[in-house]
Structure 1
Amino acid sequence: MADEKRPVIMWFRRDLRLSDNPALSAAAKTDGPLLPVFILDDDAPGHFSLGGASRWWLHGSLESLDKSLDGSLILRRGKTAEILNKLLDETDACAIHTAAAYEPYERALEEAVEKLCKDRGVEFTRHEGRLLNSPDAVSTNDGDPYQVFTPYWKAAKRKHFRDVLRAPSLNDFAKARSDDLGDWKLRPTKPDWAGGLRETWTPGEEAAKKALAGFIDNKLLDYEKDRGRLDCDPSSRLSPHLHFGELSPLQVYSAVRHADEGASGKGAESFLSELGWREFCAQLLFHFPHTATEPLKDQFKDFPWRQSKADLKAWQNGETGYPIVDAAMRQLWETGWMPNRARMVVASFLTKHLLIPWQDGADWFWDTLVDADLANNASNWQWVAGSGADAAPYFRIFNPILQSEKFDPDGDYIRRWVPELKKLKNKDIHAPFEASASSLSEAGIDLGSTYPKPIIEHSKGRQRSLDAYEKVKNG
């Protein structure tokens, strides 16, 4: 027994894949049997604990990963450092490998595990892989983090990226007690609100690879032209797969770069800039961790936000009286997702028309998005609100009617998600409150009954927002 090789722990987190996983590849190269582990940490504070839609996705992703590991994935629930300490006792493992994380709470976990391993004489190794570049790898000439996207992305693309790694050969697994995934109750039962998620998504590494290939084959060429459209489906829908690490950003970057269109294509460049924005948001949160819940720009600490439970609920439920806003919010509730253009429109409406704090919107997105990502969520909401890095000018207030006419000209998106308006003529569907009484009657619509009246008139909401921003600007 003395010559038995000691196990090596692969601590999975948001890297739930076998291919292009540097931590897993390194762990597999060691002499000992592999002990793949995922820990559901009950100690995570509110802004780091999973929302409902993310919990649903995690269940499917872990099922897929366990299948890829021949049923050898060890599931444990509890405080991370305590769980790993118990596993070291149980298995006499000699090392722990994991992918480096960059969110504040995740970094604190790593530090605790690193101390534990040092005290026990166990090797602990972090590996890159969650981003194209680690957040401290790209900086200005002065060594400061970038707060403007375009120069950041130019600098980030100049970095040398490693080759994509193949999935390692895995045939020697260590044994340990595992929780039953069903006991974690990540998916809802009573009531079961996840029917739309099941119809829309398939979590897991294989589904992620298929989604990437399908996007490149069918959508990449026209991505620059179509990216803002709501009446078709130009999005890659890769964001939840990337968030849970079923695909690495390098796999996506490399595949797009090597697509038939070539590196110079506008579709490829436009799409890769979205991947770059994801990187940009991650480095912002890394360097400015308070931005998860607080504004980056200090003057916004005194912004005169409104508190209105009724208005917030109307926005959450898709009952604002603005069809494009309501369609997007209902799509979010049904499918756990909405296109980027829709996200900007609904975020602008909440923070500017309604003057409700961006944190309230971020909280709702956190619970309802299958791709809820702390860095992206906070940075994007702050970008719209005007309080973040490279933010939209305070006077940029999306007109929901014009946005609807431009990006859903025939009302197909609205009719899909707000079916009570489906009989309206195209000229009326973007603003039913401006339609004639006869048009509404023909479509079977009674404003205020079958469909709500606008909770605020656009020009009044816009002016109220400009007045509030002027106080901050001049304050």
Structure 2
Amino acid sequence: MTAPVILWFRQDLRLADQPALVAAASEGPVIPVYILDDQAPRHWRMGAAQRWWLHHSLASLDKDLRRHGSHLVLRKGLAAEEIVRIARETGATRIHAVRHYEPWWQKAEEGVSKAFDLCLHDGNCLAPPDTIRTGSGGPYKIYTPFWRALAGRMPPPSPLLEPRITTPDKWPESEELEDWGLLPVRPNWAKGFDAEWTPGEAGAKARLDAFLSGVDDYSVRRDLPSVEGTSRLSPHLHFGEVSPAIVWHALSRKADAAKFVKELAWRDFAQNMMLVLPGMGDRNGREAFDHFPWRTGSEADADFAAWTKGMTGYPIVDAGMRQLWATGWMHNRVRMIAASFLVKHLLIDWRRGARWFWDTLVDADYGNNSLNWQWIAGSGLDSNPFGRIMAPLTQSPKFDAGGYIRRWVPELADVPDAAIHDPEESGLLCPAYPAKLIGHREARERALAALGRARNTA
């Protein structure tokens, strides 16, 4: 019999447009493997909300594989060691995998390739980031020229069809998904997730089809949290249940898709930035921010706790933080407002916010999450200047967030339209709703003063 080959799944949990699968299937019987590795990422081990998604996504992938008479082999441990162990146990000739750019996956790929024949394929980006280079041959550190260079490489290759899969005569041992304890039990804080999400490749296809039917209004609707006109494809893209190429080709037939295509390219830029600054989740892109006087101590901790619970006294911020807790997701416009509030109004280190998002977002992506927080904080290589301080009380009416606030902050459900964005300023007493942690003007002055001290220290 032909020796088997290993298909190493990570954040590419799909069968369509899966180049590693196509290559493996062309060589012989395929052993699909997923390894839960909580050791290699260290403090970047998968967050709680992601683990909920992973459980359901792996169950869906296994179901899809069983249509081919195959199934998913599950192991837990150091991926670089476990994948090689499985290959040797089964007499496999080669390991196929989609290339990943997170620093722990880069290290794992290097380790596997030293011990076994590892064949890496590009499939989780529009174009491999190491092929998008400046005129001098270096990587781009600013998005706009990166986008222009990437656009010149489009379209991406046509999506690959799901291949026929042959199975080995003998299978390696597999752990049981239910034994991994990925789902919360006591308490089950993910009760609201089921109504919002359908993890897996079929769920990704349904979400893409739904988005395509309304994408013609995307450039306007994307900024309106009350209508939630965003694609909601982000967790499916993060887990690789749909490829960027599939999304790009589907959107290419739509007239008003240019804005979303640029956002899809932002994901490629985030992967590029992981190569430029692998420690971007912990390390400032701009050294000047290493001296920034972030608030610490008990008062800052209390403010941070209020922010996480959606009890800041700023309705648009609180609505977003409560949506995040209830659904594992937050509207993109509100993410920016809530993140800016933590960093600039409360003067709390962006890394604390990034950590909270990492644990609570179903779409928490190391590259995207880190890049976006550093953009807001002004600490990134490509970022919004810190001195540009987003005003939540202006943003809320500008983007018609009244309905959004009423949904997620029920204490304010009966507040009239004229006061919903700032009940305190309107003189309305809402006993169950907190007063502002700090006034906007006071926060702005404090933030700019902190920026001045940071500049004097640098």
Which band: TM-score by shorter chain? over 0.9
State the match for 1:120 in structure 2: none
Q: Distance in 2 between matches of 1:286 and 1:368?
A: 25
Q: Distance in 1 between matches of 2:404 and 2:354?
A: 23
State the match for 1:246 in structure 2: 241
Runs of 4 or more above 6 Å deviation? none
Which TM-score applies when normalising by structure 1?
0.92
Q: Distance in 1 between matches of 2:119 and 2:369?
A: 29
Q: In structure 1, the residue corresponding to 2:34 is in which secondary structure? A: strand
1:111 correspondence with 2:103 = no
Task: Choose which of 390, 415, 418 in structure 2 pairs with 1:424.
Answer: 415
CA RMSD of aligned residues (A): 1.2
Paired amino acid for 1:429:
I
CA contact (8 A) 1:230 1:407 kept: yes
Paired amino acid for 1:199:
A
Deviation at 1:89, TM superposition (A): 3.0
Deviation string 1:399-436 (CA, Å, 9 cap, x unpaired) is 11111111125x10000000010011111111111122
1:317 correspondence with 2:309 = yes
Q: Distance in 2 between matches of 1:375 and 1:85?
A: 27
1:413 correspondence with 2:413 = no
1:355 correspondence with 2:347 = yes
User: Relative to 1, partners in 2 of residues 1:306 and 1:380: Cα closer, same or farther, differing over 3 Å?
Assistant: same
For structure 2, the 5+ residue unaligned runs are none
**1:437-448 residue pairs with structure 2 within 5 A?**
439-440=428-429, 445-446=430-431
Paired amino acid for 1:35:
I
**1:18-37 residue pairs with structure 2 within 5 A?**
18-30=15-27, 32-37=28-33
Task: Choose which of 231, 234, 256 in structure 1 pairs with 2:229.
Answer: 234
Q: Distance in 2 between matches of 1:233 and 1:358?
A: 25
State the match for 1:198 in structure 2: 194
**1:3-22 residue pairs with structure 2 within 5 A?**
4-22=1-19
Deviation at 1:102, TM superposition (A): 0.8
Paired amino acid for 2:436:
P
State the match for 1:288 in structure 2: 277
For structure 1, the 5+ residue unaligned runs are 118-122
Q: Distance in 2 between matches of 1:27 and 1:253?
A: 25
1:98 correspondence with 2:97 = yes
User: Relative to 1, partners in 2 of residues 1:138 and 1:47: Cα closer, same or farther, differing over 3 Å?
Assistant: farther
Deviation string 1:157-183 (CA, Å, 9 cap, x unpaired) is 111521110111124245121100000
**1:46-445 residue pairs with structure 2 within 5 A?**
46-70=42-66, 72-117=71-116, 123-160=117-154, 161-173=156-168, 174-217=170-213, 219-257=214-252, 259=253, 261=254, 265=255, 267-307=256-296, 308-409=300-401, 411-436=402-427, 439-440=428-429, 445=430
Q: Distance in 1 between matches of 2:216 and 2:455?
A: 42
Q: Distance in 2 between matches of 1:86 and 1:289?
A: 28
Deviation at 1:254, TM superposition (A): 1.0
Deviation at 1:146, TM superposition (A): 1.5
Q: Distance in 2 between matches of 1:231 and 1:58?
A: 28
CA contact (8 A) 1:281 1:379 kept: yes
Aligned length: 449
CA contact (8 A) 1:81 1:116 kept: no
Which TM-score applies when normalising by structure 2?
0.96
Paired amino acid for 1:415:
R
User: Relative to 1, partners in 2 of residues 1:419 and 1:253: Cα closer, same or farther, differing over 3 Å?
Assistant: same
Deviation at 1:381, TM superposition (A): 0.3
User: Relative to 1, partners in 2 of residues 1:46 and 1:455: Cα closer, same or farther, differing over 3 Å?
Assistant: farther
Q: Distance in 2 between matches of 1:408 and 1:362?
A: 26
Stretch deviating more after TM superposition (158-167 or 99-108)? 158-167
Paired amino acid for 2:404:
Y
